Amino acid sequence: MTEVFALAYPGGTVELAPLDREDLQSLVQLTRKLMEPLLRSGFGFQWDLRLERALMNDLTRQPVVLVIRRLGGIIGYVSLAPGRPRAKLHALMIEPSHQQQGIGSAVLELVEDRARALRAREIVAAVQPNNRQGLEFLRHRGFADAGADGANVLLRKTLV
């Protein structure tokens, strides 16, 4: 997954490209926008610089991080550890103004196809228990609850 490529979704196309260091700050800010309210209400967590640095380090260490662009602007990202037999979806984040258009579904399908091609038998994701949107999104796409991953809900999907 090192090339830049176009991915079709029902409303058009988005461009996916490997993470560039220059993108890190935008990805952190997008993560903050989407996650801070959930972390605060669910875990009483305060977003701070330490957390931002940890997230940046984490992103640079993930085996696969693809930045999603539309008309040149960053509108999301996906990060994945494509293990065998189990791949792990670390994050799928879509900018709120671009949600509900089928982009998340198209990206998830792509990630599942790639994991399958790398001979993963299943894909898992850990989602905050109060992240109803994230939980429902994955459950509607074949993921089932598979216990806990720390304080999060573990979801699993068999890849056939």
Q: Which residues bind ligand COA (CB under 6 A)?
A: 10, 34, 89, 91-94, 99-105, 125, 127, 131, 133-134, 136-137, 140
The rounded distance, in Å, linking the Cα atoms of 16 and 61 is 19
| Residue closer to ligand COA (CB basis): 2 or 97 | 97
Instruction: Provide, rounded to whole angstroms, the least separation between the CB of residue 67 and ligand COA.
Output: 14
Minimum separation from the CB atom of position 11 to ligand COA (A): 6
| Closer residue to ligand COA (CB): 27 or 91 | 91
Would you give the DSSP letter of residue 71?
A: T
Report the 10 Å Cβ neighbour count for 143.
23
Q: Which residue's CB is nearer to ligand COA, number 24 or number 91?
A: 91
Residue 53 C-beta: closest distance to ligand COA, Å: 21
Q: Helix or strand or coil: residue 56? A: helix
User: Smallest distance, Å, CB 120 to ligand COA?
Assistant: 17
Nearer to ligand COA, 10 or 150 (CB): 10
Look at residues 58, 63, 52, 159 and name the one whose alpha carbon lies nearest to residue 113.
Answer: 159
User: CA 68, CA 73: separation in Å to the nearest integer?
Assistant: 8
Give the integer Cα–Cα distance in Å for 87 and 125: 9
